[in-house]
C-alpha cells in the first residue's frame, strides 16, 4: 500500500514522463510537486517505488521512468477519466448527421480517434462470419446505378451503390435480385461468394446483362464478408521517440497490417480493456499499449474502438475519449434502430 506522498510522486512522474518522454530526477520532481520535500527524501521515496516495481531506472540518466506495473497501478487506482466538455460538444457535432452507413461510422470514428490522440487507432466493425444473409433489396437510381441493401440474420444492414459501365434495365436488376434472394437466403456470409458461382448459369439464362450484375454483386459480397478492420494514423508512430529504432517501428507496422491481431485484441469481455507493455501477449512489444472499448450496436452486434501507442500514452484522456465516443455511437444506432 502506497503512502499518500508515494502516490503523489508516482502520479507526478507518470504525468511528466507522458508529456516529455524524459526520465524524471529528484531535482525536477521538486519543482513539480506542490508539497515541500527535500531532494534526499524524494530520492529515498523513488527508490522505494523502484523496489515495488512501479518505477525503473534508466541506464542513461539518474532519473526514473514508470514501469508497466507502475502504469497498471496508475490506471487501476489513480486515473481520472473526466472528458472535457468542449471535446464532448465537438464529438456530438461530428456525429449529428443521422444517415451514416456502418462503414462510414467506423471510418469516421477511426479518423477522429487518431486525430484527437495523435496515436494510431483501429476500429473493428461487427463480425460477420457468424451471420447469414437474410434478404437483398435493390433501389434503382437510373439505368447505370442502383443502391443495394444487404440484411443479415442479426439485423445488420450494409448499403452498396452500384455504378454500371453500361445501361442495365430495371427488369434485369429486379430479376437478378429475386434470383439471389431465392437461392442465397440463409447462406452464411462467408459462403455467399462461392454460392454465387453455383447460380451463375441461372443468371445467364434469365438476365440479359447478367455478367455486369454478377460482377457487381460478387464484388459487393466479397467486401461485405471481409473483416471490417480500419486503421488510421499509423504514421503518428513515426513521431513517438519509443519507435525511433527503425526495427521496432517495422515490427509494430507489421502488427498494424494484420487484421487477425485486432480480432484477438477485441475478444475481451470487458467494456474497456487496457493492455500495457509486457502484459499484452498479442503484440509482444514491451513499449506498446493497446486500449480497447466495446461499441454495442445492437443486442447481437458489437464493434471495437482501439488506440495503439507507447506505454507512455495519456491513459486518462484516451479512456475518457473512447468511453464517450462509444456512447455517442451507441446512441446514434439506438435512435436509428
Amino acid 335: pLDDT: 58
Which alpha helices (DSSP H) does 123-227 contain, by range? 170-184, 192-198, 200-206, 210-225
Among 3.40.50.2300, 1.10.540.10, 1.10.10.10, 3.30.565.10, name the CATH number for the domain at 4-78.
1.10.10.10
SS3 of the chain: helix, strand, coil, percent, to 5? 50, 20, 30
289 DSSP β-pair partners: 276, 309
Residue 78 per-residue DSSP state: I
C-alpha cell at 316: 486518462
DSSP string, 189-200: GGGHHHHHHHTH
Residue 242 per-residue DSSP state: G
**pLDDT truncated to tens, each residue of the chain (337 aa)?**
899 999 999 999 999 999 999 999 999 999 999 888 899 999 999 999 999 999 998 876 678 999 999 999 999 999 988 888 888 888 877 777 656 666 677 788 889 889 989 999 988 776 666 678 888 988 888 878 888 888 887 666 777 787 887 888 888 888 988 999 999 998 887 788 888 888 899 888 888 878 888 888 888 777 666 656 778 998 899 889 988 888 888 888 888 877 777 777 766 778 888 999 877 677 778 789 999 998 877 666 677 889 999 999 999 999 999 998 888 877 776 655 5
* Architecture of the domain spanning 85-126+228-336: 2-Layer Sandwich (3.30)
Cell 521496432 sits on residue: 248
Domain ranges within the chain, ordered by starting residue: 4-78, 85-126+228-336, 133-225
pLDDT tens digit sequence for 56-86: 988 766 789 999 999 999 999 999 888 888 8
Q: Which of 122, 124, 120 is nearest to 243 (CA)?
A: 120
Domain 133-225 belongs to what topology?
Enolase-like; domain 1 (3.30.390)
List strands edge to edge, sheet with 133-142: 133-142, 145-152, 157-163
pLDDT tens digit sequence for 10-20: 999 999 999 99
Rounded-to-integer distance, Cα 39 and Cα 208, Å = 86
Amino acid at each position: 500500500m502506497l503512502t499518500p506522498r508515494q502516490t503523489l510522486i508516482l502520479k507526478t512522474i507518470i504525468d511528466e514522463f507522458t508529456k516529455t518522454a524524459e526520465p524524471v530526477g529528484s531535482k525536477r520532481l521538486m519543482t513539480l510537486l506542490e508539497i515541500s520535500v527535500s531532494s534526499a527524501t524524494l530520492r529515498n521515496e523513488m527508490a522505494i517505488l523502484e523496489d515495488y516495481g512501479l518505477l525503473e531506472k534508466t541506464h542513461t540518466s539518474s532519473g526514473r521512468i514508470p514501469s508497466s506495473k507502475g502504469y497498471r497501478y496508475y490506471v487501476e487506482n489513480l486515473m481520472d477519466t473526466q472528458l472535457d466538455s468542449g471535446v464532448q460538444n465537438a464529438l456530438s457535432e461530428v456525429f449529428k448527421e443521422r444517415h451514416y452507413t456502418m462503414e462510414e461510422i467506423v471510418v469516421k470514428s477511426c479518423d477522429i480517434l487518431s486525430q484527437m490522440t495523435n496515436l494510431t487507432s483501429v476500429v473493428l466493425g461487427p463480425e460477420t462470419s457468424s451471420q447469414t444473409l437474410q434478404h437483398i433489396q435493390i433501389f434503382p437510381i437510373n439505368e447505370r446505378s442502383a443502391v443495394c441493401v444487404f440484411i443479415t440474420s442479426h439485423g445488420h444492414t450494409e448499403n452498396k451503390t452500384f455504378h454500371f459501365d453500361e445501361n442495365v434495365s430495371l427488369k434485369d436488376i429486379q430479376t437478378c435480385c429475386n434470383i439471389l434472394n431465392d437461392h442465397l437466403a440463409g447462406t452464411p456470409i462467408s459462403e455467399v461468394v462461392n454460392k454465387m458461382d453455383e447460380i451463375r448459369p441461372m443468371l445467364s439464362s434469365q438476365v440479359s446483362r447478367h455478367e455486369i450484375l454478377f460482377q457487381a454483386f460478387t464484388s459487393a459480397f466479397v467486401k461485405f464478408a471481409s473483416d471490417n478492420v480500419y486503421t488510421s494514423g499509423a504514421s503518428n508512430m513515426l513521431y513517438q521517440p519509443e519507435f525511433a529504432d527503425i526495427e521496432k517501428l517495422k515490427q509494430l507496422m507489421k502488427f498494424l497490417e494484420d487484421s487477425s491481431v485486432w480480432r484477438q485484441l477485441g475478444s475481451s469481455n470487458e467494456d474497456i480493456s487496457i493492455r500495457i507493455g509486457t502484459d499484452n501477449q498479442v503484440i509482444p512489444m514491451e513499449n506498446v499499449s493497446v486500449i480497447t472499448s466495446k461499441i454495442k450496436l445492437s443486442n447481437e452486434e458489437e464493434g471495437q474502438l482501439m488506440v495503439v501507442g507507447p506505454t507512455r500514452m495519456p491513459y486518462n484522456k484516451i479512456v475518457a475519449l473512447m468511453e464517450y465516443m462509444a456512447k455517442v455511437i451507441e446512441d446514434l444506432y439506438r435512435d436509428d434502430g
